[in-house]
Amino acid sequence: MTYEEKKAWLWRYRRARKKELYLTCELKEAELDYGRMTRTLSSVPGGGGDGQALPRAVERVEKARQTLEAQLLLCDDLHAEIMATLFCLGDPDDWEVLNLRYLHFKTWESIAAEMQLCLRQVYRRHRHAVDELEL
């Protein structure tokens, strides 16, 4: 694999986490709609409607919950796969750079500060670590 393909492989976890956050918001929105739906049901006669609003709201919440659970499992699998690959690296500093960048989503500057290295050394270690990955 090329350097760019390896980086794209490492960024899969970040994309999965972004989707997880989106699905979490979607679930919260569905639950809020469901909560409003049950509060608006009363014995006061109201307008028309097909009478299926509540079952649709329940289905929407359940579907959102199942989709989120599937995404959580995918995130866990990707995290474990990337960690297993990173553990194969020989140098612990290389492992740490990739771990902080691709699993903790830290900026280059915060990685340099945390590892007490200059930014140039972090870039160099990153390049070396990605080149050493065996996928």
What integer best gives the mean pLDDT of the chain? 89
**Cα separations in angstroms, 73 against 17, 70, 80, 102:** 11, 5, 11, 18
State the Cα–Cα distance between residues 123 and 44, nearest whole angstrom: 67
**96 within 8 A of 68, measured Cβ to Cβ:** no
**Is the pLDDT confidence value at 40 over 60?**
no
Tokens 């009478």 locate to: 51
State the Cα–Cα distance between residues 69 and 104, nearest whole angstrom: 21
**90 within 8 A of 132, measured Cβ to Cβ:** yes
User: What residue segments make up the domains of the chain, in order of their start?
Assistant: 1-86, 90-135
Phi, psi of 134 (to 5 degrees): -115, 105
In this prediction the pTM is 0.79
Provide the CB-side half-sphere exposure for 114 (13 A, CA): 14
pLDDT in tens, 110-135: 999 999 999 999 999 999 999 999 88
